[in-house]
Amino acid sequence: MKIAHLSDSHLGYMQYHSPERKRDFLDAFKLAVERALELGAEVIVHTGDLFESYQPDMESLDGVIQVLRQVKERKVPFVAITGNHDRAMRRGVYPPHKLLENLGLLELIDPLGTKTVKGVLFAGLRYHPRVHVKRIREQFFDGLSEEARRSDLSVFMFHQALDFILSYEGAYELLVSELPEGFDYYAAGHVHLFTYQKLSSGGLLAYAGATEFRSKQEAQRGRRGFNLVNLETGELERVELEGLRPFVVESFNQENAREVLKELLEKVRSFDKPPVVLLTYTYSTVDLNHFSDLLEQLYSLALAVRIQKIRQLDEQETVAESRSYADYLKLFMGELKAPPKAVELGVELLSASPDSVPEIVEHFVREELGELYGEIEERLKKC
């Protein structure tokens, strides 16, 4: 049994406010599915964030429908879970995957459950913050392990970061040691990096990465693609996607700026389609505007150009002119002497979708108050 493992396609994401980039994400997904079918995948699984939002634009939704209709015509099941971007948290609101399931185009496992497809047990866990995962693990993982052991072939699909990738406290949702046992393949999403390892229990664990780049870090460290896995033999083949929009990531300084920019222009001209150019410029006295003649040419040739400028004050100190919102929040809360748990909550809320905020806050309060939370809840009901 050969399955294709895709993840984190983020369809509908208008990166750099560019309609072309939004279409790039759909093109990458189409290409991944086409390649999976060409390579003989008998089932395609997607481990979360198929869409950028649980309310995708009509162009992206229609594009997915067209792709999945082709998959259905080939009689290849498409099994999916939702991620942190495309899950629906509000009551009475469904993720877009539900529409696709109602059209007979995919099998959705949400928020947790199992489906048997072509004789293979597929268990799925959508994205949940770590405070929720602990409760889910205690209540359901033993049962999932028993089902896996009774099945000839089994796959556990989840959309959480594991500790071996994001090792610092608060960054991961699951420990590797906490995964349910007995599965042949652990199909992971959420981390946009292809990586895999053989577990001590014998199963194969792998992240499929993303089908398109969402950040400079992703363009620097990896390639776009998916995993092709033979469940009987445990063999994994990495399939890279070719022909997508090129990314150019370059670092330079005021001493070599003119030379690097000239070489960069030649590279940009050589591509079949306008690339995305991501630059880091380090300087002390010569601002980048000094090279405006070359920059104007670069802007005219590239689809998008983003530049991070880092000013060196002296040999010991540098100042980066761009920081993430999370960095600023940590600095601000540090000045207020906020406790570490409050800082973690703030960072988590900053990256969460608006609909998930009430649930995250409720569980934070519930964890902190313990039994007192129930007493307060009962008193409020009597008011």
CATH number, domain containing residue 236: 3.60.21.10
Q: Are residues 284 and 142 in the same domain?
A: no
Query: Is residue 297 domain-shared with residue 342, that is, in the same domain?
Result: no
Q: What is the rounded distance in angstroms from the CA atom of residue 373 to the CA atom of residue 143?
A: 29
Weakest mean pLDDT among 15-24, 105-114, 371-380: 371-380
The answer as to whether 320 is a domain residue is: no
Interatomic CA distance for residues 28 and 299, integer angstroms? 24
Domain count, the chain: 3
Is position 32 within any domain? yes
pLDDT band at 132 (very low <50, low <70, confident <90, very high): confident
pLDDT band at 225 (very low <50, low <70, confident <90, very high): very high
Q: What pLDDT shows up at residue 258?
A: 96
| Residue 275 belongs to some domain of the structure | yes
Look over the chain and give the mean of its residue pLDDT values, rounded to a whole number: 89
Same structural domain, 137 and 257: no
Instruction: Examine residue 61 and state whether it is found in any structural domain, yes or no.
Output: yes
Q: Cα 152–154–158 angle (5° rounding)? A: 170
pLDDT of residue 222: 74
Choose between 28 and 324: higher pLDDT: 28
Q: Which residues contact 352 (CB under 8 A, 6 or more apart)?
A: 84, 129, 360
Does residue 172 surpass a pLDDT of 60?
yes
Residues 204 and 302 in one domain: no
Q: Residue written as tokens 């268990």?
A: 123
DSSP type of residue 214: -
Q: What is the mean pLDDT of residues 178-207?
A: 94
Which range among 95-99, 179-183, 297-301, 318-322 shows the weakest confidence by mean pLDDT? 318-322
Q: Quick check: 181 and 205 in contact, CB under 8 A?
A: no
- At residue 216, φ and ψ (nearest 5 deg) are -60, -40
- At residue 333, φ and ψ (nearest 5 deg) are -70, -30
Q: Which residues are catalytic?
A: 85
Distance from C-alpha of 8 to C-alpha of 131, rounded to nearest angstrom? 22
Do 143 and 280 belong to one domain?
Answer: no
Which pLDDT value is given to residue 36? 98
Q: Please tell me whether residues 297 and 343 are part of one structural domain.
A: no
Query: How large a percentage of the chain has pLDDT more than 90?
Result: 69
Residue 298 falls inside a structural domain:
yes
Q: What is the pLDDT of residue 324?
A: 65
Query: How large is the average pLDDT for residues 206-213?
Result: 97
The answer on 233 and 298 residing in a single domain is no
Q: What is the extent of the structural domain holding 176?
A: 2-240
Angstrom distance (rounded) from CA 141 to CA 181: 8
Evaluate whether residue 35 is within a structural domain: yes
Residue 195 is encoded by which pair of tokens?
């990586």
Neighbours of 206 (CB within 10 A): 21
Q: In this model, does residue 104 exceed pLDDT 90?
A: yes
- Cis peptide bond upstream of 77, omega within 30: no
